[in-house]
Amino acid sequence: NAGVTQTPKFQVLKTGQSMTLQCAQDMNHEYMSWYRQDPGMGLRLIHYSVGAGITDQGEVPNGYNVSRSTTEDFPLRLLSAAPSQTSVYFCASSYSFSTPVEQYFGPGTRLTVT
């Protein structure tokens, strides 16, 4: 199993550009989520999904869209990048949202918006 994969690893965007961060898992996990991690802020939940076709907002959803058309994939779209979105983005998955289980994190995408 590859686990949770994310692409790209690094990205530089100009203000106003849009892009999609890719996330895939091959563990047939039900629950997937996107976090951003900033110095002094800890991990913050952006969006999450409890199954294909179902998504919901986390703490900091503004400026981001998600979709979950398959169990495996959970892309994160930045609609119009802003410098405040400079961060490290982690995708995570777990096999259930109905019982407490560990989350498996992808390697992260380091995004800089200039």
Partner 1 sequence: GQNIDQPTEMTATEGAIVQINCTYQTSGFNGLFWYQQHAGEAPTFLSYNVLDGLEEKGRFSSFLSRSKGYSYLLLKELQMKDSASYLCAVERAGNNRKLIWGLGTSLAVNP
The binding site for partner 1 (CB under 8 A) comprises 40-45, 48, 50, 56, 58, 90, 97-98, 100, 102-108
- Least spacing, CB of residue 39 vs partner 1, in Å: 9
Distance (Å, whole) CA 114 – CA 102:
35
**Beta carbon nearer to partner 1, 53 or 107:** 107
Smaller CB separation from partner 1, 78 or 89? 89
| 67 vs 97 by CB, closer to partner 1 | 97
Please give the structure tokens belonging to residue 37: 């991690």
Cβ distance 103 to 93 under 8 Å? yes
Least gap, CB of 16 to partner 1 (angstroms): 28
Cα radius of gyration (the chain): 13
Omega before residue 39 within 30° of 0, cis: no
